[in-house]
């Protein structure tokens, strides 16, 4: 098999994830308690025996850089035989802030084309899935393709969120339209591409010189290749794959982990999801506490009489006595006070839900997620209705009432130097 370099696009601002991306890039958002979203793509690389990985970052990369480090947890701390490297935008006469996915690759292509790699595997750092890329690479070679793109069948109701692919009987791509209002099919682009390095270099320069281009793979590069009759092939993927780009899809992907059997298997010994873990003591479950259909990370404490139902608790989360947590995702070191109720909510790191709070609710006719940002506190005995958003660093004095209605948006009134 030809030598391949993997490029992970990890610069997404992820504004649709609200408070979760207020202080971090989307690929660095925690998932399933102990992981970051990018861990799934990185683990796919090493499980596919791909150990030469570049990560292209942009928006708030600090958490991502700290998490990746030298790449040890993924066996990517290598100097001469590959390894992982992170690239961010830099200012020069010919380079600046990335304006699209193709531009992000083009600005770094001097580094990408170093060495003897003949293929470039381009990946997104914000999807949850397990995929053997080596099979896709072999498929690309067998079809003598210039571009192979991974595709998956999605629900017709969601097809307008994706690039939609048309193919012939040999899986050659005959049409491609990015996020159409009226999708002609439900065969969706997964954002996983295999290019021949020389072809990619030429395509990126042509796109770079096109002043009318938005410099994006989905909007510009792929449609141009298809319209030119280039050998573009669709690689069919039928496993679990979710783009967790919205609050609801992020929440639903967590709920998928709690099904019986789970829709996505975190426990497959042949496909381990690697991550950088914090040293925490074992979870402590007190007598009379009740936990069902949930994931509970190390360092958690569930006190007597507390109930945790269909939820994911990140490391160090504490659920005080008498509290109820249901269908919620609580990230690292969240505190839920005595007799508080948390339903269909997502809380970021170090959120404090004080005694007697009612946060969110389960509504029979809709899934409405309530969100609490990093380092924020909800005062005791407050009612936070479904769909309300508590932004980052909010303290008790920032509330004008103990009722936060649906759709409300609470921000801190403190100045940055006071935080």
Q: Give pLDDT, residue 95.
A: 54
Q: pTM to 2 decimals?
A: 0.91
CA angle in degrees (0–180, nearest 5) for 342-343-347: 60
CA distances (Å), 7 to each of 178, 219, 383, 397, in order?
Answer: 22, 19, 45, 45
| Residue 103: partners with Cβ closer than 8 Å, 6 or more residues away | 208, 215, 216
Residue pair 325/311 in contact (Cβ under 8 Å)? The answer is yes
Q: Judge residue 83's burial from the number of C-beta atoms within 10 Å of its C-beta, 0-12 exposed, 13-18 middle, 19 or more buried.
A: middle
Looking at the chain, the domain(s) classified CATH 3.90.550.10 span 4-257
Looking at the chain, the domain(s) classified CATH 2.160.10.10 span 284-418
Q: Per-residue pLDDT for the chain (419 aa), expressed as one digit of tens each? A: 569 999 999 977 778 899 999 999 999 999 999 999 999 999 999 999 999 999 998 888 888 999 999 999 998 998 767 889 898 876 655 556 676 788 788 887 778 878 778 999 999 999 999 999 999 999 999 999 999 999 999 999 889 989 999 999 999 999 999 999 999 999 999 999 999 999 998 998 888 888 888 888 988 999 999 999 999 999 999 999 999 989 999 999 999 999 888 999 898 888 999 999 877 889 999 999 999 999 999 999 999 999 999 999 999 999 999 999 999 999 999 999 999 999 999 999 999 999 999 999 999 888 999 999 999 999 999 999 999 999 999 999 999 999 999 999 999 988 776 76
Please give the order of strands across the beta sheet that includes 290-292: 290-292, 307-309, 324-326, 341-343, 358-359, 383-384, 403-404
Q: What ranges make up the beta strands (E) of 286-395? A: 290-292, 295-296, 301-302, 307-309, 312-313, 318-319, 324-326, 329-330, 335-336, 341-343, 345-347, 352-353, 358-359, 370-372, 377-378, 383-384, 389-390
Report the CATH architecture of 284-418. Answer: 3 Solenoid (2.160)
Q: What ranges make up the beta strands (E) of 130-201? A: 147-153, 163-167, 173-178, 187-196
Q: Give pLDDT, residue 97.
A: 64
Query: Coil, helix or strand for 283?
Result: coil
Residue pair 313/280 in contact (Cβ under 8 Å)? The answer is no
Q: Give pLDDT, residue 277.
A: 85
Q: Give pLDDT, residue 387.
A: 97
Report the CATH architecture of 4-257. Answer: Alpha-Beta Complex (3.90)
């Amino acid at each position: 098999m030809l030598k391949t370099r993997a490029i992970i696009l990890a610069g997404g601002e992820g504004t649709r994830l609200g408070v979760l991306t207020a202080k971090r890039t989307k690929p660095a958002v925690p998932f399933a308690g102990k992981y970051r979203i990018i861990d799934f793509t990185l683990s796919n690389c090493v499980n596919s025996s791909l150990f030469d990985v570049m990560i292209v970052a942009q928006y708030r990369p600090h958490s991502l850089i700290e998490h990746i480090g030298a790449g040890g947890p993924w066996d990517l701390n290598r100097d001469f035989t590959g390894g992982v490297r992170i690239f961010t935008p830099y200012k020069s006469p010919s380079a600046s802030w990335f304006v699209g996915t193709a531009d992000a690759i083009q600005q770094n292509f001097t580094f990408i084309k170093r060495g003897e790699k003949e293929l470039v595997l381009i990946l997104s750092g914000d999807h949850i899935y397990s995929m053997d890329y080596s099979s896709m690479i072999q498929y690309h070679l067998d079809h003598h393709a210039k571009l192979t793109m991974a595709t998956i069948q999605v629900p017709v109701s969601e097809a307008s969120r994706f690039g939609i692919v048309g193919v012939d009987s040999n899986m050659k791509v005959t049409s491609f339209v990015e996020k159409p209002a009226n999708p002609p099919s439900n065969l969706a682009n997964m954002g996983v591409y295999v290019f021949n390095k020389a072809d990619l270099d030429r395509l990126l320069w042509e796109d770079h010189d096109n002043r009318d281009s938005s410099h994006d793979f989905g909007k510009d590069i792929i449609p141009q290749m298809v319209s030119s009759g280039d050998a573009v092939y669709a690689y069919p993927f039928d496993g679990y794959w979710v783009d967790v780009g919205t609050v609801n899809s992020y929440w639903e992907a967590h709920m998928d982990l709690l099904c019986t059997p789970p829709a996505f298997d975190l426990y497959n010994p042949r496909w381990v999801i690697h991550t950088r873990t914090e040293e925490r003591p074992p979870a402590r479950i007190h007598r009379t506490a009740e936990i069902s259909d949930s994931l509970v990370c190390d360092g958690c404490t569930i006190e007597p009489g507390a109930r945790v139902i269909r939820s994911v608790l990140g490391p160090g989360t504490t659920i005080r006595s008498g509290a109820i947590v249901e269908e919620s995702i609580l990230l690292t070191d969240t505190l839920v006070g005595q007799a508080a109720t948390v339903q269909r909510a997502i809380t970021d790191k170090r959120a404090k839900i004080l005694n007697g709070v009612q946060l969110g609710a389960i509504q029979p006719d809709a899934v409405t997620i309530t969100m609490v940002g990093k380092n924020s506190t909800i005062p005791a005995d407050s009612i936070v209705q479904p769909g309300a958003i508590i932004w980052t660093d909010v303290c008790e004095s920032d509330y004008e009432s103990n009722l936060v209605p649906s759709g409300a948006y609470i921000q801190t009134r403190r100045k940055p130097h006071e935080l």
